[in-house]
Amino acid sequence: MPNEPQNELGEAWRNQPGENITMPLEEIRRRAGKFQRRIRWRNAREYAAVAIVVIIFGFYLKWFPNPVARAGSVMIIAGALYVAYQLHRRGSSEAMPAGGAFEPCLGFHRRALERQRDALASVWSWYLGPMIPGLAVFLVGSAVATPIPLPYLVLVTVMRAAVVGTVFWLVAKLNHGAARKLQAQIDELKALEQ
Amino acid sequence: MGEPSQDERYHQAAAEYGAALERLARAYEFDPDRRRDLLQEIHLALWRSFALFDGRCSARTWVYRVAHNTAVSYGIGRRRSGDRNLVSLEEVELTLGDRDGDEAAGRRHVLARLTELIQSLKPLDRQVILSYLEGMDASAIGEITGLAAGNVATKIHRIKTVLAKRFSQGADYAE
């Protein structure tokens, strides 16, 4: 029925004037190179953040006489390296937008949301968790080395642990909330695939 | 003659679907600079994707899948820094009034309103309505989106209702 308004709309949509934007191959190759540089720059920032943690706790490792605090420093450095590895690994899977982009839109979109959800929902295991043992040992070690009466020592240590714990809990809560919202969208898309 | 190269495939696709890709970018991005940026991202993704083209689907399906998926990824990246809420076709249909068409038609240009409607939709509904407006049939829309045939039919029915009610009278299609 050619006179239906939606057919006329389709025709109007297809016949709207465009800007005839084209991209020569040289420009495409230039942008592909720029894209790779952007990925390298992002990786460099992650490595820089890890380097700062390594330098700070490397300093503690060298100058803190207390062996427990020094052990904590080593564990924190190890935790930071693990988090950096995880960030790099997870980032690499998003680094190639052409990869899988030829899949049907529904599945492609669902998988993109699932990757985000998994990263957010498992934040304890790859982002927060690896830092906890080192921080706990470091807190105890630095407390033991502080020359103040035991009750104050316990109080200060508990307060420090509470602050760190609260920050971690808030980060985890925000991430889990975001993961739940994504899950609702994923369920909606799954229902449409059946 | 052998298989076309990655560059040749890209050239063919850009020549054949360049205008459609521009319209697609317009449906995803309101801001002209970001739209241009998105369109370049789509062309880049398309060129890169043709290194993997294996003929498992038609070139048209391939081009639209890559374009939509790139646009959705671009949108996901932008929404991380805060963006508006998107709605489904069902929600649009529920909020329609009988007099939507003639009241609004005089106020704003039909194409501008149509673009605005498309931009307000969730990605999947946006993909279906765009494919529909590009003149594709239900089977082609299903192939691009991955939607089951029954769901495509339901969505097309909703699209027809929404378009008929919103743009039924007094439409001025002139640019």
**Residue B173 within any structural domain of the chain:** no
B14 and B67: one domain?
A: yes
Q: What is the pLDDT of residue A95?
A: 46
State the Cα–Cα distance between residues B59 and B64, nearest whole angstrom.
9
- Number of residues in chain A: 194
**Residue B113 within any structural domain of the chain:** yes
Residue A132's region, left for phi above 0, alpha for psi from -120 to 50, else beta, is alpha
**Residue B175 within any structural domain of the chain:** no
Residue A131 predicted with pLDDT over 60: yes
Residue B62 in contact with partner chain A when CB distance is under 8 A: yes
The neighbour count for residue A3, using CB atoms within 10 Å, is: 6
B49 and B68: one domain?
A: yes
Q: What is the pLDDT of residue B107?
A: 45
Q: What is the pLDDT of residue B168?
A: 67
CA distances from A150 to A40, A69, A110, A111, A155 (A): 49, 17, 55, 53, 9
pLDDT (average), residues A120-149: 88
- Residue that finishes a domain, picked among B79, B111, B126: B79
State the Cα–Cα distance between residues A145 and A139, nearest whole angstrom.
10
Q: Which of B14, B47, B135 has its CB closest to that of A10?
A: B135
Contact A57, A20 (CB under 8 A): no
Quick one: three-class SS letters along B108-136? CCHHHHHHHHHHCECHHHHHHHHHHHCCC
Helix orientation angle between B110-119 and B123-133, rounded to the nearest 10 degrees? 140
Q: Which of A19, A28, A189 has its CB closest to that of B22?
A: A19
B30 and B70: one domain?
A: yes
B93 and B74: one domain?
A: no
Residue A6 pLDDT class (50, 70, 90 cuts): low
Contact B147, A106 (CB under 8 A): yes
pLDDT (average), residues B73-85: 62
Q: Which residues contact B108 (CB under 8 A, 6 or more apart)?
A: none
Q: Mind listing the pLDDT tens digit for each residue in A27-81?
A: 888 877 777 777 778 778 878 888 999 999 999 888 888 899 999 999 999 999 9
CB contact (8 A) between residue B164 and residue A6: yes
Residue B81 predicted with pLDDT over 80: no
Please name which of A168, A161, A129, A120 lies closest in space to residue A143, comparing C-alpha atoms.
A161
Q: What is the CATH number of the domain that holds B138?
A: 1.10.10
- Number of residues in chain B: 175
B110 and B154: one domain?
A: yes
B22 and B73: one domain?
A: yes
Q: Between vectors from CA A35 to CA A34 and to CA A37, what angle results, nearest 5°?
A: 65
Q: What is the pLDDT of residue B173?
A: 47
**Residue B124 within any structural domain of the chain:** yes
Residue A94 predicted with pLDDT over 60: no
- Residue that finishes a domain, picked among B79, B97, B119: B79
Q: Mind listing the pLDDT tens digit for each residue in B2-38?
A: 778 888 999 999 999 999 999 999 999 888 888 888 9
Residue B160 lies in domain: 89-166
**Residue B84 within any structural domain of the chain:** no
The neighbour count for residue A94, using CB atoms within 10 Å, is: 16
**Residue B1 within any structural domain of the chain:** no
Residue A102 predicted with pLDDT over 80: no
Lowest mean pLDDT among A86-90, A134-138, B107-111: B107-111
Q: Alpha helices of chain A — where are they, by DSSP H?
A: 5-14, 25-63, 67-92, 105-121, 123, 132-144, 150-193
Q: Can you give the residue ranges of every domain in chain A?
A: 29-179
**Residue B123 within any structural domain of the chain:** yes
Residue B133 in contact with partner chain A when CB distance is under 8 A: yes
Nearest-Cα distance to chain A for B1, in Å, is 23
CA distances from A35 to A41, A46, B135 (A): 10, 17, 34
Amino acid at B49: S
Tokens standing for B123? 């990605």
Q: Which of B65, B76, B167 has its CB closest to that of A101?
A: B65
pLDDT (average), residues A127-149: 88
- Residue that finishes a domain, picked among B79, B101, B129: B79
Nearest-Cα distance to chain B for A166, in Å, is 24
**Residue B146 within any structural domain of the chain:** yes
Residue B100 pLDDT class (50, 70, 90 cuts): low
Q: What is the CATH number of the domain that holds B50?
A: 1.10.1740.10
Complex ipTM value:
0.79
CB contact (8 A) between residue B53 and residue A102: yes
Please name which of A139, A134, A106 lies closest in space to residue B147, comparing C-alpha atoms.
A106
State the Cα–Cα distance between residues B92 and B164, nearest whole angstrom.
13
pLDDT (average), residues B88-104: 62
pLDDT (average), residues A10-39: 80
